[in-house]
Amino acid sequence: MHKKVESKDECVQVMVRCRPMNKKETANGSKKCVEVDKSVNQVILKQVEEKMADAGRVFTYDAVFGIDST
């Protein structure tokens, strides 16, 4: 029998990795809409249409990894 241990020191860390576009996406003319700022652990979702004035939505995580991560 296992006893459940509860600790107030437990926390969940959220990390995200943005992958590069695949061949199908590139062939379809898809545009990059995700930027990663590792210095502040943020992912920025940008509008792909130039007519949109929105600077994008910013999400902050405990850690971020860009398309060059291995």
The model's pLDDT over 16-70, given as tens digits with 9 standing for 90+, comes to 999 999 999 999 999 999 999 999 999 999 887 766 566 689 999 999 999 998 8
Q: Supply 14's token pair.
A: 């959220």
**Domain boundary assignment for the chain:** 31-63
List the Cα angle 41/56/24 in 5-degree steps.
Answer: 85
Nearest to 14 by CA among 49, 54, 51, 41: 41
DSSP state of 26: H
Task: Report d(CA 9, CA 20) in Å as an integer.
Answer: 36
pTM (two decimals): 0.69
